[in-house]
Amino acid sequence: MTAARSELSPAWRQALPLVLALIAWLIYWYWDTAAAMVGIWSRSETYTHAFVVPPIALWLIWRQRALIHAEQPRTSLLLAIPIIFTTFAWLLGELTAVNALTQFALVATLVLAIMALLGTAVSKRIAFPLAFLFFSVPFGDFMMPRLMDWTAAFTVLALRASGIPVYQEGLQFVIPSGNWSVVEACSGIRYIIASLTVGTLFAYLNYTSLRRRLIFILVSILVPVVANWLRAYIIVMLGHLSGNKLAAGVDHLIYG
């Protein structure tokens, strides 16, 4: 490869600094929202994976840099129009104190601004890396109550199928060897979000068919859900069969 091939075209030499300046400006303008999002990454183990989302998105762009460089960046006003709606969504989130809405709006504004600056042709090349950035938004806590209900229902059903009598009241249930309850940590939301993120990335990298990608992503959601149900059942069974010597206290976390 000659040195000339590795050089950026004049259009890209002009576009890249603008992209960097745009990203910096948006982060500065929406600093409180961005800082709140990173704060959640730091505090919650459910969302620590988000720290690697931006680097992965950059790597996905870098790995197809030759194809991207072959396209000419051209500003698209049409792609900028939706920014009006994402800005309104951010404002609505601020007024209603809905962090998830402001954070989704921030990422959407960032993605749309980059697409508008680089144009349709380039945007098609980097569509997935940009869309992948949405996995950095802490989202999914609203599913916890439903997931906890499902976990409790499966555990009770599996225990009864194993011949163990169970009295259930909501998320609490009693078996001959003791009392158990399904708490937030038993919801499995952490595993679902992480699996969905990794599964989506894997599907993109390894399949070209949209159908196969969607099937794999669906599997990446179902597997952690079922695995979490089995995990809860096994923990209770270990406690029951051992007279609560196993799967209680610290052991509960280890066997889980």
The verdict on 115 and 26 lying in the same domain is yes
Using left for φ > 0, alpha for ψ between -120 and 50, and beta otherwise, residue 188 falls in left
Q: What's the pLDDT tens digit per position in 87-117?
A: 999 999 999 999 999 999 999 999 999 999 9
The verdict on 174 and 77 lying in the same domain is no
Domain count of the fold of the chain: 2
Q: What's the pLDDT tens digit per position in 134-170?
A: 999 998 888 889 999 999 999 999 999 988 898 888 8
Distance of alpha carbon 220 from the chain centroid: 12
Instruction: Give residue 246's pLDDT.
Output: 62
Given a cut of 90, whether residue 249 has pLDDT beyond it is: no
Mean pLDDT confidence for 42-46: 89
- End residue of a domain, out of 101, 122, 138: 138
- Per the structure, the complete domain to which residue 9 belongs is given by 3-138
With H, G, I as helix, E, B as strand and everything else as coil, classify residue 170: coil
Count of C-beta atoms within a 10 Å radius of residue 212: 12
Confidence class of residue 250 from pLDDT cuts 50, 70 and 90? Answer: very low
Whole-prediction pTM: 0.86
Q: What's the pLDDT tens digit per position in 59-78?
A: 999 999 999 989 999 998 99
